[in-house]
Amino acid sequence: MKKLKLSDWIVMGGLLVLLLLVIFQLVTHNHFRNDAGKWAQPSIDNKNIIKASGISMAGNTLIVDLSGQSQLINAKHLPADQILEKQNFKILHDHKGNIVLVSDDPSESARIWMLLSQMGIKDLYILTEN
């Protein structure tokens, strides 16, 4: 019987590690993915829509003006095209409480809501006039 060299053991160890990683990936393939149905459910049920009369400033509510055209006094202006910049995203991510998106263009608010929801921002709403 032939004795294995150190380089043979290193190659076999590397292959074993690779095999274990492949098996782990196959077994846990959905572990790091969002469930799209669960994520989109608030939008389907219109639970992500809020009217101006429904905004309670008693809690810790952050109103985000995406277009810069809002007449709301306490709104924080974060342009939609800059929402993912590090300092802007940090404001949203670190906020404890409701976040209400305001824009002149309802589709812009919806797009930003989808993007931020997918990125894990919770208690996120779209302000509507209707």
SS (H, E, C) the chain: CCCCCHHHHHHHHHHHHHHHHHHHHHHCCCCCCCCHHHHHHHHHCCCCEEEHHHCCCCCCCEEEECCCCCCCCCCEECCHHHCCCHHHHHHHHHCCCCEEEECCCHHHHHHHHHHHHHCCCCCEEEEECC
The per-residue pLDDT string of the chain (130 residues; one tens digit each, 9 = 90 and over) reads 678 788 888 999 999 999 998 888 777 655 445 566 676 777 777 788 888 777 765 578 899 999 877 777 788 999 999 999 999 999 999 999 999 999 988 889 999 999 998 888 989 999 887 5
Domains of the chain: 36-128 (3.40.250.10)
Contacts of 43 (CB under 8 A, 6+ apart): 110, 113, 114
- Please state, in angstroms and rounded to a whole number, the distance separating the CA atoms of residues 77 and 25: 42
- Please state, in angstroms and rounded to a whole number, the distance separating the CA atoms of residues 106 and 86: 24
- β-partners of residue 128 are 51
Q: Contact at 8 Å (CB) between 89 and 128? A: no
Structure confidence at residue 81 (pLDDT)? 92
